[in-house]
Every structure is written in C-alpha cells, then in structure tokens.
Amino acid sequence: MEDVKLKCVVVDDSGLQRLSMVKLIKDHPNLQLVGEFSNAIETKNGLLDLGVDLLFLNVEMPILSGFDLLDDLRNKPLIIFVTGKTQYAHKAFDYEAIDYIHKPVTRDRFNKAAAKAIGLYKLQNDKSSVEDDRFIFVKSNLKKRKVMLGSLKYIEALGDYVKFVTNTDSFVVLATMKSFEKELEDENFLRIHKSYIVNLDRIQRYNSREVEIDGEKIPLSRHKKTLLADALSSN
C-alpha cells in the first residue's frame, strides 16, 4: 500500500480557508481532492456521490456545525477538524477525530495530521496487518490501553515516563524502559539506545549513528551497533 492516495473533501464556510486547504492537499503526494463545500448541508448531499476517505472539517458554520454534519452521517470517513476555535478540541475526539488543527494551518502541522490519517488508513486497509495480532496492554491516563505491536514503531524514554509512537498516534505511560525492554524482548523489539526501543520490522535503513523508521531518525548507541546488525540479519 505504498502508493496509497486518500480521497479528501474540505468543508469550511471561509473561501480563503478552503483555498489554503485545497493547496495543501494538492501539494501532498498521498492526498487527492475530490470535493470542497462551504456548508454542512451541501457536504451531506455531496458525500452521497463521492467516495471519501478523509474529511477536513470546520466546526462553526452557518445553520449546521461540523458536529451536526457528523451526527447525520451514517458512514463517516476519517476526520480531521480544522478550526480557529480551541474550545471544541475535547468534543472533537468524542467523534474519533484523527487530529484537531488550529487555524492558521502551517504546512508542517498539516503534514503531521495527514501522516496520522494515512497511517490509520493503511492500518485499516492493509490485509497483511490483520495477520499480526500481537498486542500488549498499557495504562495511559488511568485507562487500560491495548497496543497492537505491529503498529508500534518505537518507545522513547521521557524522564519518569515512556512515549509510545504508533502508526496513528503517540501517548505517554508512567513506566520504565527496563520493564518494556523485558516484556518485548521476544517480540522483535530491540533497545538500541538508552532512550529508545524500536520495532525491528519497521526499520527502513540504518548506519553507524542512527536508524530510520518512516522518515524519523532515531539515535543508535555505539555499543548496540553489532547487536542491531545481528538482530536484523536473523530477522
């Protein structure tokens, strides 16, 4: 699924904002614009004729809000909210939004949100990922969370916490690296640095100083180079 292209729709009552989002979508190699609308009513009717994977949606609009639109949709695409208001962020994630971007939208912020959507789309549609049913449970924000190991890219130490980075998001857990190093040692994960445990299956390239996973460069300790090379050769 390397050449995946998500079909996108932009919904915003501001013509200038739509223009800005349309340009960002058209400039992105994995996104395809299939429609743009100025209000929720037009969008609801338009989506009936369009196969949409990803919706860039404003919240406050005349007559019906972005939330009202989603309440009326039977089959919801992936959602990224794009709004000038910060107070709706919590509610947005009740709608399982992938991201919540605050206007004005920078290219870097847009690309980060798009990467989350593309990662989730691949995860949902890549049949090979279904075969990997390995998982662990962790506790994040006082809630038990299931982490599919196939989607876990790496774990990073952050003081008394560790950060999990997956295909779709990242979150922190109050725990030690040592505990996860032991738990994942038989699951094709390797601690390559005092601050990083990586999924060996996700490494795209490496050299004497770092490994690369989905474009992210992660430092490699000098005394871990041989261990990494041996692990990858037997992988």
**CATH code: domain of residue 214:** 2.40.50.1020
The range of the structural domain enclosing residue 178 comes to 135-233
Q: How confident is the model at residue 235 (pLDDT cuts 50, 70, 90)?
A: low
Give pLDDT, residue 111: 95
- The answer to whether residue 186 sits within a structural domain is yes
**What is the total count of domains within the chain?**
2
Contact 191, 197 (CB under 8 A): yes
Output the domain CATH number for residue 123.
Answer: 3.40.50.2300
- The answer to whether residue 1 sits within a structural domain is no
| Residue closest to 72 by CA, chosen among 44, 47, 113, 48 | 44
Distance CA 27, CA 15 (A): 18
Helix (H) / strand (E) element for 63: namely none
In DSSP notation, 182-200 reads HHTTTTTEEEEETTEEEEG
Distance CA 55, CA 60 (A): 15
- Identify whether residues 16 and 96 lie together within a single domain: yes
Mark which of 97, 127, 157 sits at the end of a domain. Answer: 127
Reading the block at residue 136, the tokens are 């662990």
Mark which of 127, 159, 188 sits at the end of a domain. Answer: 127
Output 157 or 234, whichever has higher pLDDT. 157
- The answer to whether residue 222 sits within a structural domain is yes
Q: Which of these ranges, 18-22, 127-131, 137-141, has the smallest mean pLDDT?
A: 127-131
Mark which of 111, 127, 143 sits at the end of a domain. Answer: 127
**What single letter denotes the amino acid at residue 41?**
I
- Count helices and strands (H / E) in the chain: 8, 15
- Identify whether residues 160 and 207 lie together within a single domain: yes
- Identify whether residues 106 and 151 lie together within a single domain: no
Distance CA 110, CA 92 (A): 17
- The answer to whether residue 171 sits within a structural domain is yes
Distance CA 222, CA 129 (A): 32
Q: Mind listing the pLDDT tens digit for each residue in 156-171?
A: 999 999 999 999 899 9
- Identify whether residues 114 and 141 lie together within a single domain: no
CA distances from 190 to 128, 129, 169, 216 (A): 23, 21, 21, 17
Tell me the Ramachandran region of residue 125: left when phi exceeds 0, alpha when psi lies from -120 to 50, beta otherwise: alpha
- Identify whether residues 175 and 209 lie together within a single domain: yes
Average pLDDT, the chain: 88
- The answer to whether residue 54 sits within a structural domain is yes
- Identify whether residues 66 and 111 lie together within a single domain: yes
Give pLDDT, residue 166: 94
Give pLDDT, residue 149: 92
Q: Mind listing the pLDDT tens digit for each residue in 169-228?
A: 999 999 999 999 988 988 889 999 999 999 998 898 888 899 999 889 999 999 998 899
- Identify whether residues 93 and 190 lie together within a single domain: no
Q: How confident is the model at residue 126 (pLDDT cuts 50, 70, 90)?
A: low
- The answer to whether residue 51 sits within a structural domain is yes
| Residue closest to 192 by CA, chosen among 167, 223, 160 | 223
- Identify whether residues 99 and 175 lie together within a single domain: no
- The answer to whether residue 82 sits within a structural domain is yes
- Identify whether residues 10 and 123 lie together within a single domain: yes
Reading the block at residue 224, the tokens are 């871990």
- The answer to whether residue 41 sits within a structural domain is yes
- Identify whether residues 99 and 165 lie together within a single domain: no
- Identify whether residues 150 and 113 lie together within a single domain: no
- Identify whether residues 120 and 12 lie together within a single domain: yes
Mean pLDDT, rounded, for 39-67? 89
Give pLDDT, residue 234: 66
pLDDT above 70: percentage of residues in the chain: 95
Mean pLDDT, rounded, for 118-139? 74
* Whole-number CA gyration radius for the chain: 20
Kind of pairing between the strands at 161-166 and 152-158? antiparallel
Q: Mind listing the pLDDT tens digit for each residue in 83-124?
A: 988 888 888 877 878 889 999 999 999 999 999 899 888 877
